[in-house]
Amino acid sequence: MKEVLYFYSPGCPFCKKADKFIAQALAENPEWEKVEIKRIDEVAQKEYAATFDYYYVPCIYVGGEKVIEGKVNRFEIDDMFEKALEE
């Protein structure tokens, strides 16, 4: 399983949508619950967040590769889970 880093900002409407899509994906696919998603508040953890190459939140890295940045859709979230579970 690959590491998942999820950079978000509490006030971001796209992050709220990403959270909703993640919750929906987990509800529909219980086997995906074993994917550990490390949520990083880019406001509270500004120095750590600045070490990554992204401009917009939400931004999700899987195994060190950026897979989502900015506005997100449900299909991207499903792909993110599938990528995280790849061997």
Res. 85: pLDDT tops 80: yes
Q: What one-character DSSP code corresponds to residue 64? A: T
Per-residue pLDDT tens for 2-52? 999 999 999 999 999 999 999 999 999 999 999 999 999 999 999 999 999
Average pLDDT value for residue range 54-75: 96
**Type of residue at 46:** K
Res. 60: pLDDT tops 80: yes
pLDDT for residue 87: 72
For the domain 4-85, what is the CATH superfamily, name and number? Glutaredoxin (3.40.30.10)
pLDDT for residue 17: 97
Average pLDDT value for residue range 44-66: 95
Strand-pair category, 4-8 with 59-62: antiparallel
